[in-house]
């Protein structure tokens, strides 16, 4: 019994262990999985994030001119799989955990972005230009020729590739 | 003396999760017991068969909050067994760290509730406060206080840099002191012993008969631990002993859990020092052929088994798991009969039941 009294006194002297939130600061470690941010300029439209999302929180809508991204925070489980599988880190979880909101705001708890489509330099079909982030992952450094590849559709890229191979053989 | 029937649960102040007990009593004594489950069935097994392999990592993590890491890691192991994927060695150690961190927090939670049920609420608060250290560790390393989201197919999706390894080490040193103190308290404190010693006894014979697993089995003298019997992840390279007690009562089960928490802390430290450098995950998307596989692990509550059948598509044809509480709750029939009505909640808590993953 005496041993526990010692602990009690010690805990009493130490004072409260709880944070004074919301009247004071609370502990937010680096890397906390909170609100999701989407960077349309880094997105290549591979839709892997949508594929791995268990909550079905991510939706893409494609039109003639753009690819629209929507993420519902109320369906998100903050598992971070989307971020893990996104090669260009166009989708990341931030440390912002201030997500409480009123019932009427529940459909406004979204993260949205639009990836513009552009015509292929070869055939003119509308496509998503490859993001700089992915070019860096693939080539580390880019030059003018590689940069041109960004704005070619896969078919035209393949054709260009075959021509290159033929040139080498000659 | 005439006997009478009383209902306990499914909603009851001292039961953590819904379960209905139809108790046959004679005076103060329990003489018969009937258990009815099915109050929190959520249809997750069926849901798993409509989700792809990736989505199921997140889904299985939500079966249970306290052993939330054991589910996705065992599920990923089943997939990796099926596709003959060898995960990087560093990932094996990182999986052990995640599992053991959850074990400490889970076991402390159960032992704290024991304090609450016997009316020793300052003990409850103290153990929960100690557990807070583990909660902060989870939040700092994984970014969430319950669901670590540590696993992916072919490895893990977190890493420990030097700073975090140091932080983890320091927190484990802090835990050691607290855990030694708590263990001594449970062994010696007269209030704790008075209410838990000789209560809810499960003999070794009955433990074998009911095929119980985890700390319930080990508290009745059965030396069975998946981490040692069929090692997975990095357990074959780590140095640890299976913790057992022979009394089979509520106190023995608590002692096993507390010693396992102490040992988990040492395991985490071993991992931090032994872990080789290298990748933490395979770098190509996994290809899962048609076939079937099994994986098992030692969750905080005991042996957890996953069965997976695939048909070559990226959605499981069948995913089924057997959780430790399924084996353990039946043994309540042996533990409760002959004990007092007032000890029912205490004894039920001593099997650390997880109804949410048993009924899923
Ligand atoms: S956010 Fe990332 S994963 Fe999702 S479509 Fe864009 S590039 Fe692909
Ligand atoms: S964090 Fe998880 S649940 Fe949320 S959007 Fe990403 S994959 Fe979906």
Task: Give the gap in angstroms from C-alpha B213 to the nearest C-alpha of chain A.
Answer: 30
Q: Are B33 and B22 in contact (CB under 8 A)?
A: yes
Tokens of B15: 């039961």
Q: What is the CATH number of domain A31-97+106-157?
A: 3.30.70
Pairwise CB contact (< 8 Å): A11 & B144: no
What mean pLDDT comes out for the span B178-187?
A: 91
Gap between the Cα atoms of B24 and B30, Å rounded: 6
Q: Which residues in B lie closer than 8 A to residue A27 (C-beta atoms)?
A: 136, 139
Tell me the per-residue pLDDT of A115-133, one tens digit each, with 9 for 90 and over.
888 888 888 888 887 877 7
Gap from A31 CA to chain B (nearest CA, Å): 5
Which DSSP letter does residue A23 get? T
Structure confidence at residue A165 as a pLDDT band (50, 70, 90): low
pLDDT of residue A166: 59
CA angle B96, B358, B46 (to 5 degrees): 100
The residues of A whose Cβ lies within 8 A of any Cβ of B are: 1, 3-4, 7-8, 11, 17, 27, 29-33, 51-55, 77-81, 84-85, 93
Please name which ligand lies nearest the alpha carbon of A49. Answer: 1
User: Cβ of A33 and B191 within 8 Å?
Assistant: no
Q: How far is CA A26 from CA A18, A23, A139, B313, in A?
A: 9, 9, 43, 46
> B41-315 falls under which CATH superfamily?
Cytochrome-c3 Hydrogenase, chain B (1.10.645.10)
CB contact under 8 A, B147 and A79: yes
Nearest-CA residue for ligand 2 atom 8 is A53
* Contact between residue B11 and residue B17 where contact means Cβ atoms under 8 Å apart: no
pLDDT of residue A142: 67
A58 lines ligand 1 (CB under 6 A): no
Is the pLDDT at A168 greater than 60? The verdict is no
Report pLDDT for B13.
62
Per-residue pLDDT tens digits for B277-314: 989 998 888 888 889 999 999 999 999 999 999 998 88
In angstroms, the CA B327 to CA B241 distance is 23
- Give CA–CA dist A90/A150, Å, rounded: 17
In contact, A138 and A94? CB cutoff 8 Å: no
CA dist., res. B343 & res. A37, Å (int): 51
Could you tell me if B58 and B36 are in contact, meaning their C-beta atoms sit under 8 angstroms apart?
no
Contact A122, A156 (CB under 8 A): yes
The complex scores an ipTM of 0.83
Of the candidates B58, B126, B188, the beta carbon closest to that of A7 is on B126
Q: Which residues pair with A70 in a beta bridge?
A: A59, A112
Judged by DSSP in three states, B94 sits in helix
Whole-angstrom distance, CA of residue B130 vs CA of residue B109: 10
pLDDT at A11 > cutoff 90: no
- Taking the CA of residue A111 as centre, how many other CA atoms within 13 Å lie in the half-sphere pointing to its CB? 20
Name the residue among B137, B138, B110 with its Cα closest to residue B124.
B110
Statement: residue B1 has pLDDT above 80:
no
Q: Per residue in A66-82, pLDDT tens?
A: 889 999 999 999 999 99
| Cα distances (Å, whole numbers) of residue B17 to A37, B104, B300, B304 | 36, 21, 17, 20
B256-274: average pLDDT: 94
Segments making up each domain of chain B, as ranges: 41-315
Q: What is the mean pLDDT of chain B?
A: 90
By alpha-carbon position, which residue is closest to atom 6 of ligand 2? Answer: A82
| Separation between Cα atoms, residue B79 and residue B356, nearest integer Å | 23
- What sign results for the dihedral spanned by CA atoms B211, B214, B216, B218? positive
Gyration radius of chain A over CA positions? 25
The pLDDT of residue A167 is above 70: no
Predicted confidence at residue B89, as pLDDT, reads 92
Q: If you average pLDDT over residues B263-270, what whole number do you get?
A: 94
B200 band by pLDDT with thresholds 50, 70 and 90:
confident
B111-121 in b/e burial notation, b at 16+ Cβ within 10 A?
bbbbbbbbebe
What is the helix (H) or strand (E) element at residue B166, kind and residue range? helix B162-188
Cα–Cα distance measured from residue B176 to residue B199, given in angstroms and rounded to the nearest whole number: 29
For residue B56, which residues of chain A lie inside 8 Å, CB to CB? 54
Query: Among A55, A91, A96, which is best to mutate for testing ligand 2, by the most ligand atoms less than 8 A from CB?
Result: A55
- Looking at residue B300, its pLDDT comes to 92
**pTM score of the predicted model:** 0.87
The answer to whether residue B8 scores a pLDDT higher than 90 is no
**Residue-range domain boundaries for chain A:** 31-97+106-157
């Amino acid at each position: 019994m005496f041993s526990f009294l010692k602990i009690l006194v010690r805990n009493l002297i130490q004072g409260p262990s709880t944070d004074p939130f919301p009247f004071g600061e609370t502990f937010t470690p680096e890397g906390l999985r909170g609100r999701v941010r989407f960077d349309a300029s880094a997105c290549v439209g591979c839709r892997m994030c949508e594929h791995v999302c268990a909550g079905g929180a991510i939706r893409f809508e494609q039109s003639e001119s753009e690819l629209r991204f929507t993420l519902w925070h109320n369906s998100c489980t903050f598992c971070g799989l989307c971020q893990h599988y996104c090669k260009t880190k166009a989708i990341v979880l931030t440390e912002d955990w201030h997500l409480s909101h009123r019932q009427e705001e529940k459909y406004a708890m979204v993260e949205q972005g639009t990836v513009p489509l552009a015509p292929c330099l070869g055939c003119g079909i509308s496509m998503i230009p490859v993001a700089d982030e992915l070019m860096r992952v693939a080539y580390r450094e880019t030059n003018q020729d590689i940069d041109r590849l960004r704005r070619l559709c896969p078919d035209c890229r393949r054709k260009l590739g075959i021509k290159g191979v033929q040139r080498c053989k000659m | 003396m005439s006997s009478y029937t009383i209902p306990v649960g499914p909603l009851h102040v001292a039961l953590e999760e819904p379960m209905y007990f139809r108790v046959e009593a004679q005076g103060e004594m329990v003489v018969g017991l009937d258990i009815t489950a099915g109050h929190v069935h959520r249809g997750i097994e069926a849901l798993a068969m409509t989700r792809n392999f990736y989505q199921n990592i997140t889904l299985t993590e939500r079966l249970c909050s306290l052993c939330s890491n054991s589910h996705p890691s065992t599920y990923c192991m089943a997939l990796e067994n099926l596709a003959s994927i060898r995960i990087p060695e560093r990932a094996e150690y990182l999986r052990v760290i995640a599992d053991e961190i959850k074990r400490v927090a889970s076991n402390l939670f159960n032992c704290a509730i024991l304090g609450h049920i016997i009316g020793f609420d300052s003990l409850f608060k103290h153990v929960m406060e100690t557990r807070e250290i583990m909660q902060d560790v989870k939040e700092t390393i994984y970014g969430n206080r319950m669901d670590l989201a540590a696993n992916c197919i072919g490895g893990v999706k977190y890493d420990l840099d030097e700073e975090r390894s140091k932080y983890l080490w320091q927190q484990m040193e802090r835990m050691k002191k607290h855990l030694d103190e708590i263990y001594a308290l449970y062994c010696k404190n007269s209030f704790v012993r008075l209410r838990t010693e000789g209560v809810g006894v499960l003999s070794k014979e009955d433990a074998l008969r009911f095929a119980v697993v985890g700390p319930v089995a080990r508290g009745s003298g059965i030396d069975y631990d998946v981490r040692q019997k069929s090692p997975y992840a990095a357990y074959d390279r780590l140095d640890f002993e299976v913790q057992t007690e022979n009394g089979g009562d509520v106190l023995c089960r608590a002692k096993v859990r507390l010693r396992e928490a102490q040992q988990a802390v040492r395991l985490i430290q071993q991992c931090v020092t032994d872990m080789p450098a290298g990748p933490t995950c395979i770098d190509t998307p996994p290809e899962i052929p048609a076939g079937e596989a099994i994986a098992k692990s030692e969750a905080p509550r005991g042996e957890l088994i996953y069965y997976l059948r695939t048909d070559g598509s990226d959605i499981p044809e069948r995913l089924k798991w057997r959780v430790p509480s399924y084996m353990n709750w039946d043994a309540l029939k042996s533990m409760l009969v002959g004990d007092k009505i007032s000890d029912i909640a205490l004894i039920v808590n001593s099997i650390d039941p997880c109804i949410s993953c048993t009924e899923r």
